[in-house]
């Protein structure tokens, strides 16, 4: 079996590592030639090829690139795909990419998916085996994919030891805005706020405890990846931000007025998230 992975960064590189040993030949496609060379040197891929050349000889093509780039190249890949080949995207937004190819003649060869896994790091050197282990993978619009395409995608995620969930793309984008995209906005904003008000970088380094470090970790994420995600999921993310800002204002009022009982009450309510996540 020949697999082409488009984008050999954290996600694509970790996918390549996790699929090693399953009698696969792994081709890498990356517009950054240094990344392609690094991926070969790290043993993530067997060879680097241009996209058109790789598409012609692949059984499975996986898009592990920013969501705007995936939307741009997916129709062109489907234009030239072999009849029994499969294309899977791994992007964090689903409605836009599904709409982009809804009337394509080869829509049935495509499976829209989102493995919920990642770190704040990027590039081939960030890849590691086991990134996807015991995480959730979402498949959207499974009814629009051919049985053979869906089966191949499901088999890939099961090899990664992921649990599969099926959703329509709009619901996916709404829920992921609340629990993932909002978290990144919050982390980016915290990082900006501290950089704006604390001009002594040594103090940031010296006084940042584990709480700050874990909360701001996502602010180290790639802007190239996240800016297009925020654009494509703007409506749901804006709604989520509205609620978030309202809650921040409540906290500010409580702090300004030194309302200890109300502070205790609002934090106790927030503690309910522990029960859900447990």
Give dist(CA 87, CA 37) in Å, integer.
24
Q: What is the mean pLDDT of each run of 10 residues along the chain (278 residues)?
A: 96 94 88 94 96 96 97 96 97 97 98 94 94 97 98 97 97 95 93 83 69 84 94 96 96 96 94 87
At 221, give phi and psi (nearest 5°): -70, 160
Give dist(CA 138, CA 261) in Å, integer.
41
Q: How far from 271 is each of 69, 247, 252, CA to CA, in Å?
A: 39, 15, 19
Structural tokens at position 62: 């996986």
Please state whether the predicted TM-score (pTM) of the whole model is above 0.85. Answer: yes
Q: Check: CB of residue 64 under 8 Å from CB of residue 6.
A: yes
The CATH T-level fold of domain 2-167 is: Rossmann fold (3.40.50)
Q: Where are the domains of the chain?
A: 2-167, 172-277
The strand ranges marked E within 130-196 are: 136-140, 163-167
Please return the burial class of 189, using the count of CB atoms within 10 Å of its CB with bins 0-12, 13-18 and 19+: middle
At 63, give phi and psi (nearest 5°): -95, 110
The strand ranges marked E within the chain are: 2-6, 25-29, 47-48, 60-63, 86-89, 110-116, 136-140, 163-167
* CATH number for the domain whose boundaries are 172-277: 1.10.3660.10
Q: Check: CB of residue 220 under 8 Å from CB of residue 195.
A: no
pLDDT at 160: 96
């Amino acid at each position: 079996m020949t697999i082409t992975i488009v984008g050999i960064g954290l996600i694509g590189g970790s996918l390549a590592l996790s699929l090693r040993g399953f009698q696969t030949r792994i081709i890498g496609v990356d517009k950054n030639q240094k990344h392609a060379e690094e991926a070969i040197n790290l043993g993530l891929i067997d060879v680097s090829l241009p996209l058109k050349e790789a598409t012609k000889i692949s059984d499975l093509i996986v898009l592990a690139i920013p969501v705007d780039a995936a939307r741009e190249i997916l129709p062109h890949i489907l234009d030239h795909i072999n009849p029994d080949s499969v294309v899977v995207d791994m992007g964090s937004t689903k409605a836009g990419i599904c709409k982009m190819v809804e009337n394509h003649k080869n829509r049935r060869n495509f499976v829209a998916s989102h493995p919920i896994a990642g770190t704040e790091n990027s590039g081939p050197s960030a890849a590691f085996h086991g990134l996807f282990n015991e995480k959730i993978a979402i498949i959207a619009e499974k009814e629009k994919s051919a049985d053979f395409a869906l089966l191949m995608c499901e088999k890939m995620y099961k090899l990664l030891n992921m649990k599969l969930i099926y959703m329509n793309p709009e619901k996916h984008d709404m829920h992921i805005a609340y629990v993932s995209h909002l978290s990144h906005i919050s982390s980016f904003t915290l990082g900006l706020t501290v950089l704006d008000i604390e001009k002594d970088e040594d103090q940031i380094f010296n006084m940042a405890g584990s709480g700050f470090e874990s909360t701001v970790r996502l602010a180290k994420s790639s802007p190239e990846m996240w800016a297009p995600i925020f654009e494509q999921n703007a409506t749901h993310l804006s709604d989520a931000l509205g609620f978030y800002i309202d809650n921040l204002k409540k906290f500010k009022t409580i702090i300004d007025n030194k309302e200890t009982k109300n502070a205790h009450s609002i934090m106790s309510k927030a503690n309910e998230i522990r029960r859900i996540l447990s």
